[in-house]
Amino acid sequence: MARSAAAPSARGSATRPDGGRIIILLGPPGAGKGTQGERLAADLGIPKLATGDVLRAARRAGTPLGLEATSYLDRGELVPDSVILGIMKEALGEPAAARGVILDGAVRTVPQAEGLQSALAGLGRAVSAVLVFDVPDEELVRRISSRTICDACQTPYTGLPPGAPCPKCGGTLVRRKDDEPDAVRTRLAVYTRQTEPVIAWYQTHAVPVIHIDALGSVDDVAARVRRGLRAVE
Is 33 known to be catalytic?
yes
Closer by beta carbon to ligand AMP, 121 or else 189:
189
Rounded-to-integer distance, Cα 3 and Cα 6, Å: 9
Q: In angstroms, give the least distance from the CB of 199 to ligand AMP.
A: 14
Closer by beta carbon to ligand AMP, 8 or else 52:
52
Is 187 known to be catalytic?
yes
Is 147 known to be catalytic?
yes
Is 11 known to be catalytic?
no
Q: In angstroms, give the least distance from the CB of 25 to ligand AMP.
A: 9
Write out the binding residues for ligand AMP, residues 59-98 only, by CB under 6 A: 72-73, 76-79, 84
Q: Among residues 39, 56, 187, 224, which one is catalytic?
A: 187
Q: Which of 77, 81, 84, 19 is nearest to 50 (CA)?
A: 84
| Total chain residues near ligand AMP (CB under 6 A) | 18
Is 108 known to be catalytic?
yes
Long-range contacts of 139-142 (CB under 8 A, 24+ apart): 139/30, 139/215, 140/28, 140/29, 140/30, 140/31, 140/188, 141/30, 141/184
* DSSP reduced 3-state for 61: helix
CA angle 161, 162, 167 (to 5 degrees): 70
Instruction: State the catalytic residues.
Output: 33, 108, 147, 176, 187
